[in-house]
Structure 1
């Protein structure tokens, strides 16, 4: 028997045996499995894109292999570079659609480039010698088969091998080919650690590929890119950007612990995933921040570097690796062998802290030691964060060994007097005596629950079970303490199954499913309820807290009025899920006092010190309602240099009043304080001038406010703008008829930061000659989740076409007295004379189903709609396609596509008409046209493909 036929027979025999034992039902997620343990203990991996199209590109496999070997490629170099990064595994992406489908191993299966030298085997052996695992990347995608103008897939050779005609350039044919490669690799490489699979192929799924991998190689891992496929061990979240801070990669992920997940990102700032011949910089600040914040969320950092043909890393990437080899070891215990804190492993609260500080917490599950990672340092010499009930006994700087002064009260830990800051991550090792202050035995019920996810899951102590609100909003959760008891705060862990802010990722709209506006009431008998507190929670990961003062009640009822998600992201809209809610009855207190407590300052008039459980030091000063005669005066507020500083006042406010501050006897500055609770402080900030050295700060009010404490920090950088969401409609270029035209514009500003902005104004800015109907929308101040909306009509000059203009819509405001602004725009264009209708695919007038918008530099308006096709709801519908008379028209469809695909176009609910198109590259628009019968007035046109992927859609026109 020939070698080829023998291999075919062996594969067939393996498949035949396996198919008798593989379960035919849908695969179930194995969230925990012993094979995953090595990856759970990992911090990072090194992702290597390297193949025939690594610059300089090779179109001949033998020539590429010759240059790889001749250039001195060695497997050990890659393993050593991975270890510098603290990476415990390498993913090799050579059988990649954009790199020539090269296989770095000798193969008996023809169809694409395969080397004679066993590069993969050498890498596996080198990794095994130094404790680094190797995972092999496999693609499902044949569409780039001739990107370079040369066919890289050999259908004839594979067809001869199989004894049947197989077209490798189709998804079905490529699925069959790559399916065989999986088995060849499993047969030949015992020490491989698994497959990193770039999306799914229908042939693989239909033929139970993954189930068979589980049977043949039960210790190997399976990783899928960008989606949570049940049978996979790991979810990889690819190249997320646009977060604030930019390094906070977990803010863009959607996989709750304990599901294994990766953050897959490029280390070079620019360029391709592979070496393209350029020398691209590596942003140390960005990438160390990603490394740390991922560790603080139990996410593995899969860092992509771009080796050259000879395997060497470009100089700037090699330099970054050398830096990491020195930077990580002093803090290794806080990064490796730890889990993210603030989630199911316990720990204090990560995220935004005082004075612009931002970071994460890691926790050692075995010792309970926690590590505070300050990635963005505060504009002050202290860090203040929620302690989540942990009684802190000591804090030291992990790099220097210095013991730090601390204070602890009101649910916060303050680390004081910090003078040494690491440029990228200041790490504090925190020792505690455990967690305290929470009620046990609390029972939960809810007005709505998804079947199988009951409210009892909220208080069962198990973060792997959760309550699902079944899409209801508002929805109420009742907490029964068993009897009348003291309650001071709620600690809420929401399901980390959505990103923390609205974004588009690979054309899929995403949004936060976390609680926004809430109300909290209490009762002793379950019938008569009193108001406790209302407000908004930030869209943030980790434990969130609602302080409620000193309540005595048996029942607490949390009513969630809405979430942060919007209807533009239907997968997340109204999808509220919560892992755990705990009721705290008291806060742990430290041994050291805080600084600048109100009760320690001088008081005059009716100002007096009172007990306040939720206040720092458990006291506040009240009686400030008589103006300057009732005041708190700090006589020694010292700063090193003269300038303007941020003064934060932690105030209690049973009613809405202004607070006034006089510095060194100067005329007072005032800022509004919204109504909240008289026994729960909230921060209010104001910019104040201070002299070098000692200053006197006098605080007073004309209303009933209480002062807990003050703190001094620097002002935000001029480049910082607090996070907002500005939604402007219509979205997309507006194509209007010749002559004078009017455009209705609506805008909605949502303030997403846990801060305050003042003097807020929202309005369009018109081009010369245009007129506006409607006044600017304004608000004196806005805080977290505040909204400002406006509606206007913009009209072009009389007797003229609208031409080509952009109408900016600008929200301007002040942050601590400094001007800031965010903007959107409505582009308006006069449609061509030979067109009776033009509309962008991304226009907000359209209905998008399960599709999504994405940027496209060469497309009309810079955007297009992608993810069309594959199901009935993955379609784009254009309503109100208006034409002047009933007759036949030409429909011009502008699209982008890579490979052969089809639209099915349905007009007014009629029979779908197929538009078949083909192309190379998915960035350059092309135009197809078909005849359509339209009626006078409004028509509806739908674009979809219920069974297969369709092209991306840029714009339509009727002529």
Structure 2
């Protein structure tokens, strides 16, 4: 599979909206079989499958001689629970091999009808077959032989056609589409690796629709309107690593695939090596994709004879026994927490993580615990569902559970599955949500009004028109009770900052917010503020017990940063619901409730009502010292050790709380002002002994917080570091002149996880002999979404040129008593003597529009800018290119390219000059030059190509040529 992303057209495609592009069919009967499926098997196979063949006839001979059989592939797919196979042989890196007899010359074609045999075998066993087609001719001579025969195809067409060009290859492959459609009626569609302009100009897709209306069309990485499926290729970098949907950018009900390799390493095709398959990673992907209505398109690397390498076959065999016991939670289900309803997926208690699947017909929900908690219970938001029963789907065991404060807690879990513990949850549906709520907003994009927020349809949404801050006012019609907001944001972006195939992506979800209440829509009371996690699925804001007609949600900012222009300041919300109560079960209590009769309450400490608290109550009256306290007499653990002790508390004013374990000296911590009827949490470290322990809570302040509950669990793994984003500028290798130099460094640390950092310090380390001006940036504590920034000036020693140095910037902090740190560096190097200016393309002072950064080991700074060109939005603009004198200079452009491509270069906004380049391999730096005339002082140099893709850019420099 070609690892190249064409210009992303990341657009929401909903059939019921006036904004849907012409030709888009988001839902269609031909898609039904794939919507009902869980997975597909992606097979990359061709002439260059090891042992590599450079001759088509020899490849076919050895395939047949090796015993290839289509039934083996179909059976392996069924082991995986796959409903379809995508066959990738007409692939740019596999010799453009066609496994069917063809009358159209131009590349490898077999005499044996391997494709026809596979289609027939799949039909007999209920497995659909889809054919991969590439648009890309650039790898035609990668192996030292020409795999595209332009002369043969030109003779066939009666006109000269160069298959090594995109237009020529488009003509050739266009003919192949029609040959396949004519000869293989039982094929199920095409999986297309990006678009070709010739196809689009000649209405290829529309003709496929007309000729084969039941066939599916999938497109790699792009959201193309006429396609049925958006395939998301090989996404990594998420936390946890298996949660593939975190990297997806297309909201339901658009049909989406998660396309990924099962082998941990190596190419997408078999190269002769044996590569491990990470069972934990890939079972997790399988489940979390199902929990977001995404199809797991799993790529395996069949050998020449079609057999899977042993470790891949072993994974298939494991899946054949592991999936069937939980099949009902995966087949005919949709992702829960989205437009189909369901409880909240994501991070749960004590390190747990999982997803929800829901059967739209039976309304049964399935809680998939992919990462188990460090305790024996699972606690997640119930989204207003009244739970009747819970059972372990694998064992049938009925589970104890309790509901209160917006949470379902499944208790006493002993039988944890290694990869996915599944609980079947029967409910009576959602309750306690207001109807008839009307919404208005301070800003809306045309066609996406605020009324879409409360219309009951997740397929119509509100768009903020890129305004921040922005507010949404909810009118309940009259004064009513309200307890929380349930918000479904548009799943049109990944949930964390990342670079995908060289393009920057970021979350468009709400970060900092405030909620106000009013009875007259004029005078507003602030009722809650905070930061919302960048997470998929329904998110909740508990607002205590309000009695008002109007509620206003003010969104101060979103998680997306300016490094990803496509996502910056964007905000779209499908639905907002207003709740007026929480589900409450009776007979089973959540362990360690403060109000439990098992606890001692001394002095003024007493039980008070709190609907938003677990159990519906809390202990108040703390304050004035240890004489007013609540004491747990039986906090039991299995072994002596250090534990994580979480205290859920409420308070309307800033105060403090003290925790004493077994009569020892107390641990004191600050409690921020919030609400007296909506809990927040603080975790501390506690030393406990095996068996029973006492935990006493009180406040030394005159008026202390109330306590809802405590929870005890083992500490996270020693290696655990909360997710943070550390941004250091300048980014990229810094080139400086001779003599003493100063470099200004700024840094920003953001906490992205719902943890607490203590004793936070942000500071650079000066290279030997350098000095630092500026103090460390510090914070006593940080919560989710909060930022710490600092700025410093680093100065080299006087009287000497700098050597190659690196200035690391380190953020250090405490997490539950453990010292942790993250860091990033600023490398500095003296520019070559024959250059008067050098700057990396990836330098943070440049503007790159919708282009993006990517690693490049041979490049000068280890990075380059990729995806330049193809539109006016993808460019590299070098500002403040400073020279001493007005004159002509030689501009050196360092780049990588695979095949002929061009830059256009504009100096100070002047007429662009085309710079043609050529090369082999996108990992080999080349240099080209052109004369430029610059002004004394600051200049601008822009490299772009508005129409076609340009080379990747490493750096530019200026010489006195």
Work out whether the TM-score is over 0.5: yes
Shift of 1:26: 6.8
Match of residue 631 from structure 2: 633
Match of residue 774 from structure 1: 774
Structure 1 residues 938-949: aligned runs within 5 Å? 938-949=938-949
Kindly provide the CA deviation profile for residues 27-50 of structure 1, in whole angstroms up to 9, marking residues without a partner as x.
421111000000000000000011
RMSD of equivalent CA atoms: 1.0
Indicate yes or no: 2:433 matched with 1:435.
no
Secondary structure in 2 matching 1:312: coil
Cα pair 1:746 1:789 within 8 Å, conserved: yes
Cα pair 1:352 1:358 within 8 Å, conserved: yes
CA–CA distance in structure 2, aligned partners of residues 911 and 55 of structure 1: 50
Bigger drift between 164-173 and 584-593 goes to 584-593
Match of residue 905 from structure 1: 905
Structure 1 residues 62-211: aligned runs within 5 Å? 62-211=57-206
Match of residue 678 from structure 1: 676
Match of residue 649 from structure 1: 647
Relative to the length of structure 1, the TM-score reads 0.97
Kindly provide the CA deviation profile for residues 425-474 of structure 1, in whole angstroms up to 9, marking residues without a partner as x.
11111111221110111111111111111111100101101011111111
**In structure 2, do the counterparts of structure 1 residues 26 and 467 end up closer, same or farther at CA, with 3 Å as the change threshold?**
closer
Match of residue 830 from structure 1: 830
CA–CA distance in structure 1, aligned partners of residues 670 and 347 of structure 2: 23
Secondary structure in 2 matching 1:629: strand
CA–CA distance in structure 1, aligned partners of residues 873 and 192 of structure 2: 26
Kindly provide the CA deviation profile for residues 829-881 of structure 1, in whole angstroms up to 9, marking residues without a partner as x.
11111111111000011110121111112212111111111122221111111
Kindly provide the CA deviation profile for residues 256-284 of structure 1, in whole angstroms up to 9, marking residues without a partner as x.
00000000000000000001111100000
Unaligned runs of 5+ residues in structure 2 are 1-19
CA–CA distance in structure 1, aligned partners of residues 313 and 482 of structure 2: 55
**Structure 1 consecutive aligned stretches of length 4 or more whose deviation exceeds 6 Å:** none
Shift of 1:911: 2.2
Kindly provide the CA deviation profile for residues 194-235 of structure 1, in whole angstroms up to 9, marking residues without a partner as x.
000000000011111101100000000000011110000000
Match of residue 353 from structure 1: 348
Match of residue 275 from structure 1: 270
Structure 1 residues 708-727: aligned runs within 5 Å? 708-727=708-727
CA–CA distance in structure 2, aligned partners of residues 97 and 423 of structure 1: 39
Kindly provide the CA deviation profile for residues 910-934 of structure 1, in whole angstroms up to 9, marking residues without a partner as x.
2222211111211111111122222
Bigger drift between 824-833 and 25-34 goes to 25-34
Match of residue 6 from structure 2: none
Match of residue 250 from structure 1: 245
Kindly provide the CA deviation profile for residues 171-199 of structure 1, in whole angstroms up to 9, marking residues without a partner as x.
11111110000000000000101000000
Unaligned runs of 5+ residues in structure 1 are 1-24
Secondary structure in 2 matching 1:557: strand
Shift of 1:396: 1.2
Secondary structure in 1 matching 2:289: helix
Secondary structure in 2 matching 1:645: strand
Shift of 1:806: 1.4
Indicate yes or no: 2:688 matched with 1:693.
no
Cα pair 1:240 1:265 within 8 Å, conserved: yes
Structure 1 residues 570-649: aligned runs within 5 Å? 570-591=565-586, 592-600=588-596, 601-649=599-647
CA–CA distance in structure 1, aligned partners of residues 700 and 186 of structure 2: 74
Cα pair 1:660 1:669 within 8 Å, conserved: yes
CA–CA distance in structure 2, aligned partners of residues 617 and 697 of structure 1: 19
CA–CA distance in structure 1, aligned partners of residues 394 and 497 of structure 2: 37
CA–CA distance in structure 1, aligned partners of residues 357 and 93 of structure 2: 37
Cα pair 1:144 1:920 within 8 Å, conserved: no
Indicate yes or no: 2:498 matched with 1:498.
no
Match of residue 707 from structure 1: 707
Match of residue 803 from structure 2: 803
May I ask how many residue pairs the two structures share in their alignment? 935
Cα pair 1:289 1:424 within 8 Å, conserved: yes
Kindly provide the CA deviation profile for residues 336-359 of structure 1, in whole angstroms up to 9, marking residues without a partner as x.
211100001101000000111100
Relative to the length of structure 2, the TM-score reads 0.96
CA–CA distance in structure 2, aligned partners of residues 674 and 268 of structure 1: 48
CA–CA distance in structure 1, aligned partners of residues 671 and 264 of structure 2: 43
CA–CA distance in structure 2, aligned partners of residues 387 and 808 of structure 1: 45
Structure 1 residues 180-579: aligned runs within 5 Å? 180-579=175-574
Secondary structure in 1 matching 2:626: helix
Cα pair 1:393 1:590 within 8 Å, conserved: no
Indicate yes or no: 2:957 matched with 1:957.
yes
CA–CA distance in structure 2, aligned partners of residues 88 and 626 of structure 1: 66
Match of residue 6 from structure 1: none
CA–CA distance in structure 2, aligned partners of residues 409 and 83 of structure 1: 42
Secondary structure in 2 matching 1:848: strand
Kindly provide the CA deviation profile for residues 151-188 of structure 1, in whole angstroms up to 9, marking residues without a partner as x.
11111111111111111111111111100000000000
Shift of 1:702: 2.6
Cα pair 1:443 1:456 within 8 Å, conserved: yes
Cα pair 1:444 1:479 within 8 Å, conserved: yes
Secondary structure in 1 matching 2:643: strand
Indicate yes or no: 2:893 matched with 1:885.
no
Match of residue 18 from structure 1: none
Indicate yes or no: 2:657 matched with 1:659.
yes
CA–CA distance in structure 2, aligned partners of residues 769 and 631 of structure 1: 56
CA–CA distance in structure 2, aligned partners of residues 288 and 673 of structure 1: 41
CA–CA distance in structure 1, aligned partners of residues 625 and 810 of structure 2: 37
CA–CA distance in structure 2, aligned partners of residues 56 and 767 of structure 1: 51
CA–CA distance in structure 1, aligned partners of residues 670 and 811 of structure 2: 20
Cα pair 1:341 1:347 within 8 Å, conserved: yes
Structure 1 residues 44-55: aligned runs within 5 Å? 44-55=39-50
Shift of 1:373: 0.6
Shift of 1:602: 1.1
Match of residue 39 from structure 1: 34
